[in-house]
Structure 1
């Protein structure tokens, strides 16, 4: 399983025209195997977030090749890409984007409604089990605006796992957290890799966090250094 690739990036170039051409990403190539925990670091403006946007299939305006779960993302329709995002990738952002009008449990269930592979009852059970794994099942019936920042990020991680993706893509997941909660998030990610063989890619400014991942990809001026 580990030798299968989760993500392969081949010679990706990205430019903006504003009004002159600015090369944001230049010849980016790397691969990530299943079960790897990888961080992308670099100064602000080096192209990390632009790259993550492409890797997550949200941005299709680039040159180069992208493979997710050994399948090319080229020439896919928006509907097909949306399917890949929902089934293969879990997202964790700096801001948790929880829906305040829903309970914690319902928030975790949300991406599963799109998938509609299982009944709502099964989905609810699965969501509760994920909260349990992350040690926050007691929050299940609380409204999303009644929990702390650190708890919100753990809820967001549970939500990212609901469709059992092969890979989590995370953008500054500890950016708004104190060091104690950052450590908790790191430990959760570590366990997802070790116990559930998830693949995790994190864009981060947090050096401590990055140094503890399996591998660091450092970017500078749109290139990997």
Structure 2
């Protein structure tokens, strides 16, 4: 087993041919097993582009993506589709549930892609996941009969149905009220700790990001800062680079005044 779950090497993304726009400028990143990482940054910083490339939903212009040591950039479309279904889970800002299906059926959709029809074991797992996200009594409700927070919980359960090693979430609480936002984020953290699932979450909310193990700040297609949070250990300044520790010491002290 590789010592890192996910690594990128000099990841570059350029859109356009005649007029080119460089969105990622040689991103180097590594993600540990069972880690909970938040990616933050202003609009246009490249965080969603990076997430889509890590999830193989988009292709990098150059560079490598290594998952458990295997180079994903060498796979064809069919191989990538199979890889995603087995190894990755996705949670989006818009839950993308099928309105004509029940909560249980929506959770089972990835299994239909993989197995054509769910086994009794998979059916039991889907029910268990809905119970974990607090929707045991709502599993037979159509998605349109659920609140926004409940629909996002269904999306979370769906992302976990195939036991992915990594879940990628793009603004998963962006359309929720404050109470639902806190509940969903705490749910993700509980799943991370109890199931050992690795999470990479793109968010604009610094308060939520501070609850992660680690925060990556992006600016103009580059990783500007990469540091551990206070929740990772007792030492608030246990950062990944000395200059980041200095930065956050100053920032933290200024907020104390």
1:17 positional shift: 2.1
Give the secondary structure class of the aligned counterpart of 2:111: helix
Bigger Cα displacement from structure 2, 61-70 vs 32-41: 61-70
Give the secondary structure class of the aligned counterpart of 1:31: strand
Q: Any idea what the Cα deviations from partners look like across 1:10-40, whole Å, max 9, x if unmatched? A: 1101112264222110010110011000011
* Counterpart position of 1:30: 29
Alpha-carbon distance in structure 1 between the residues aligned to 2:72 and 2:125: 29
* Counterpart position of 2:107: 108
TM-score, normalising length from structure 1? 0.95
Pair 1:219 & 2:192 matched: no
* Counterpart position of 2:144: 145
* Counterpart position of 1:130: 129
Find the structure with the greater CA-based Rg: 2
* Counterpart position of 1:173: 172
* Counterpart position of 2:20: 21
Pair 1:186 & 2:185 matched: yes
Q: Could you list the runs of 5+ residues in structure 2 that have no partner in the other structure? A: 225-257
1:70 positional shift: 2.6
Structure 1 consecutive aligned stretches of length 4 or more whose deviation exceeds 6 Å: none
Change beyond 3 A, Cα 1:82–1:202: same
Change beyond 3 A, Cα 1:71–1:118: farther
Q: Any idea what the Cα deviations from partners look like across 1:70-122, whole Å, max 9, x if unmatched? A: 32102211010001111100000000000011111000000011121984322
* Counterpart position of 1:158: 157
Q: Could you list the runs of 5+ residues in structure 1 that have no partner in the other structure? A: none
Count matched residues: 224
Bigger Cα displacement from structure 2, 111-120 vs 149-158: 111-120
Bigger Cα displacement from structure 2, 57-66 vs 11-20: 11-20
Higher RCO (CA 8 Å, separation ≥ 6 residues): 1
Alpha-carbon distance in structure 1 between the residues aligned to 2:147 and 2:3: 38
* Counterpart position of 1:54: 53
1:75-114 maps to which residues of 2 (within 5 A)? 75-114=74-113
TM-score, normalising length from structure 2? 0.84
Alpha-carbon distance in structure 1 between the residues aligned to 2:82 and 2:25: 28
Question: Contact 2:111–2:118 at 8 Å: present in 1 too?
Answer: no
Alpha-carbon distance in structure 2 between the residues aligned to 1:93 and 1:194: 21
* Counterpart position of 2:207: 208
Alpha-carbon distance in structure 2 between the residues aligned to 1:42 and 1:51: 12
Alpha-carbon distance in structure 1 between the residues aligned to 2:177 and 2:69: 37
What is the RMSD computed on CA atoms of the aligned residues? 1.6
